Amino acid sequence: GENVEQHPSTLSVQEGDSAVIKCTYSDSASNYFPWYKQELGKRPQLIIDIRSNVGEKKDQRIAVTLNKTAKHFSLHITETQPEDSAVYFCAASRSRNDMRFGAGTRLTVKP
Amino acid sequence: DTEVTQTPKHLVMGMTNKKSLKCEQHMGHRAMYWYKQKAKKPPELMFVYSYEKLSINESVPSRFSPECPNSSLLNLHLHALQPEDSALYLCASSQGGGGGWPQHFGDGTRLSIL
């Protein structure tokens, strides 16, 4: 089955700096890669996603890049703000819709 | 606003009890999911319903029994649970029944087994 690895497990940045979270996946059949943000005690919320036919996608301060050959994808957050502090999960799924999550990255943005 | 509604928000039950978790969505989504999330861990897929049919069961113990009465409702029936089953149970839905559709999560039911 699919295995998704995520790094780093914790990330601390100063407000205004950029944050990068990286994930790798094992199954070349995976074709959909969402990113979720989960604040303490809250539900996971989709923040951006990318499909395997696209190399990069951007939405305001958030961008995701995908390298299918290397089987890795990354989340980039620019101009970080304290409200960006949360746990971020990458995920990968195939046509069966069996989405697998990475272990998560706890991002702390210091004011 | 949460478009996927889960009830109850909290549930405490003994190991011999029978209870049910409920999930409802009115977005016209055709796939619904149950996930289990332990503290400081990612959500783990349990079941997937696609067009009201069970399409994926991730080798979940039979003490968890899913049910999809219609395209808007998803239940998870619980019986004879173990303390290690204490977790946050998340329901999600997506527009399509195949892969590649964004999944929208509910707020979850926090389950404690005594």
The per-residue pLDDT for range A48-93, each reduced to its tens digit, is: 999 988 899 999 999 999 999 999 999 999 999 999 999 999 999 9
Q: How confident is the model at residue A97 (pLDDT cuts 50, 70, 90)?
A: confident
| Distance between CA atoms of residues A97 and B99, nearest Å | 4
Of A45, A97, A102, the CB nearest to B48: A97
Scan residues 8-67 of A and list those with Cβ closer than 8 Å to B: 31-32, 34, 36, 42-46, 49, 51
Is A92 at the interface with chain B, CB within 8 A?
no
pLDDT the model gives residue B52: 94
To the nearest whole Å, the CA of A22 is away from the closest chain B CA by 16
The per-residue pLDDT for range B30-47, each reduced to its tens digit, is: 999 999 999 999 999 999
Strands (DSSP E) found in chain B: 4-7, 10-13, 18-25, 31-37, 44-50, 53-57, 64-70, 73-79, 87-94, 104-105, 109-113
Q: Which is higher by pLDDT, A98 or A64?
A: A64
Residue B46 · residue B64 · CB < 8 Å: yes
pLDDT the model gives residue B112: 96
Torsion region of A103: left, alpha or beta (phi above 0 gives left; psi -120 to 50 gives alpha): alpha
The one-letter amino acid at A6: Q
Q: Which residues is B75 bridged to in the sheet?
A: B22, B67
The per-residue pLDDT for range A36-55, each reduced to its tens digit, is: 999 998 999 999 999 988 89
pLDDT the model gives residue A98: 84
pLDDT the model gives residue B1: 52
Measured in residues, chain B has a length of 114
Residue B4 dihedral angles phi and psi, to the nearest 5°:
-110, 120
pLDDT over 80 at A95, yes or no = no
pLDDT the model gives residue B2: 60
| Distance between CA atoms of residues B50 and B71, nearest Å | 9
Q: For chain B of 114 residues, list the mean pLDDT of each consecutive stretch of 10.
A: 88 93 95 96 95 92 96 96 96 84 95 94
